[in-house]
Structure 1
């Protein structure tokens, strides 16, 4: 599958591969490529979002996946691509990524012992000429000059013009374009995502599919955490994780009504469970995983959530309890 002209040469059953009740068959590659993400066998797919991603792959639709931080938006796309053997590349549109980084620039290279100026193409010209799924992470944090570079290839039959080279690139029929964002183009409405921009609505209108991935139901989140931290998959451990997920849901409810300025994402719950392997006291590991990220004035509210779910107090003494013994230090070193 190294040829730039390669196209999907097989299909996979959505029911068999993703466990979703659908007769849909999706194009795929029979052989992996070095750019195909690794498969996480424990990954749990959100059915509606998975079907939207599969539609984007099978019908060549441009897809924007929006949701709160830590919900696994990019990972979801990657894990779908992994099961389709579809090459996938992620680019983070932080504030330092500019137009030349994406399109390319002239660079001085050494050829036959002489310095010559040569055009070095960026990731977008490289990707559009190949059967690659390009994921633009933090799409709503991209600079305006970057946004307008992307706008032309948002159209399914769009071509990419390289003004510096006087070239027009045809887009490979196997090229797919995805983006992930914390907002849906309306800017930073609640103060949680500094640096995001209001998106040009003419560009936002070019995304064919817009889906949302937010916090999973408590039962699903429990299984997600246990899949990541299998050491806790015991009767006692499951009860502990259920209480951790309950705390997380209380922080989310508190955020919605304005009691908290931050919330626990599924990623934070996984981190808490992982830290439990180092600091077995749930109060200590909770403080180190989440409480210390909160505003000091809001920590009593978080402590109340913890008390409700664990029937135990969370106080300042918990931090002083962090006195790793030899076995804990050995575990940390390992």
Structure 2
């Protein structure tokens, strides 16, 4: 019987290659009410996400993500689409100067993509079969935060590969190569999901799977990220369209847009709508207003055309309520009588 070879970074080598660190205060770095101090790298590499200086951090989610970076906790961030789950992790990493790699667990991603596979290459003019490492061995071998997006949409064969990473030692077994890969001391693992592993109960997220609860139990921290308060959402949208927000009328316009977005979220929660406006959609709407110089046209092109025909009169009512303007989809008196 062959004993798997263990690929592990020697402690002396890991310490020599470890990036320099400095201690920083969480309150000053993330703008949240906390006296915690965290360690960050002193230099940024090409894999570090671009820092968004205007990003608004949710306190509980930020603390959960920081637990992943500082204590090696495995963190799953759950929330509806458009709440900024992956972006939240990236912006924490950007301020910690931590390299990040995102992998989308869509239906096309296979076990071989994660682990690696044999490939035929030419060396000295001769074909040879060599093993090409997949995403996991490459990310695990260096200081890096790996984010598994759409975690609840992963294929079963992919999920069982990931389950091994969720064990206490977090090693990755490559049976075909007779190897066991142990992670770099600064490797971190995160995931984002629209559901909490219960499947597509609402009908909103087609393609998601019911997750193995034994696997869910292996995540040390599960954070829930909801939509931000209106004031914070206003600041975020305004930072994306500074020319529009610079005018008083423009800022008032954005306030009304956020009011309408809130109505769609309430309508979705009540079962009146099958879709809603995420902060991402509001930003797109604002950007289209700058392009077309027409809030109603921009609303139609950014959101209304995505919606079911039967729901458009209700959305037109929301628009009229917020902007005091009737859209073509508005219900007239004959529709109400019928």
Structure 1: state its 5+ residue gaps: 318-334
Deviation at 1:33, TM superposition (A): 1.4
The verdict on how the C-alpha distance between 1:273 and 1:3 changes in structure 2, with shifts beyond 3 A counting, is: farther
**Structure 1 residue 125 corresponds to structure 2 residue 137:** yes
Alignment of 1:281-300 (within 5 A): 281-300=294-313
- 96-105 vs 42-51, which deviates more? 42-51
Deviation at 1:170, TM superposition (A): 1.3
Say which of 235, 257, 266 aligns to 1:253.
Answer: 266
Cα distance per residue 1:35-79 (max 9 Å; x no partner): 111111121111221111111110100000011111111111011
Report the equivalent of 1:238.
251
Cα distance per residue 1:162-219 (max 9 Å; x no partner): 1111001111111100000111100001111100000000000000010111211111
Task: Say what the alpha-carbon RMSD is for the aligned residues.
Answer: 1.5
Count of matched residue positions in the alignment of Structure 1 and Structure 2: 316
Q: Segments of 4+ in structure 1 off by > 6 A?
A: none
| C-alpha contact 2:140 2:187 (8 A) present in aligned 1 | yes
| C-alpha contact 2:121 2:130 (8 A) present in aligned 1 | yes
- 70-79 vs 6-15, which deviates more? 6-15
Report the equivalent of 1:274.
287
Structure 2: state its 5+ residue gaps: 1-13, 331-338
Report the equivalent of 1:262.
275
> In 2, Cα distance between the equivalents of 1:4 and 1:314?
65
> In 2, Cα distance between the equivalents of 1:149 and 1:11?
35
TM-score, length-normalised on structure 1?
0.92
> In 1, Cα distance between the equivalents of 2:168 and 2:94?
23
**Structure 1 residue 157 corresponds to structure 2 residue 169:** yes
Say which of 74, 78, 97 aligns to 2:109.
Answer: 97
Alignment of 1:14-53 (within 5 A): 14-53=26-65
Deviation at 1:316, TM superposition (A): 5.3
Deviation at 1:8, TM superposition (A): 5.5
What secondary structure is seen at the aligned counterpart in 1 of 2:202?
A: coil
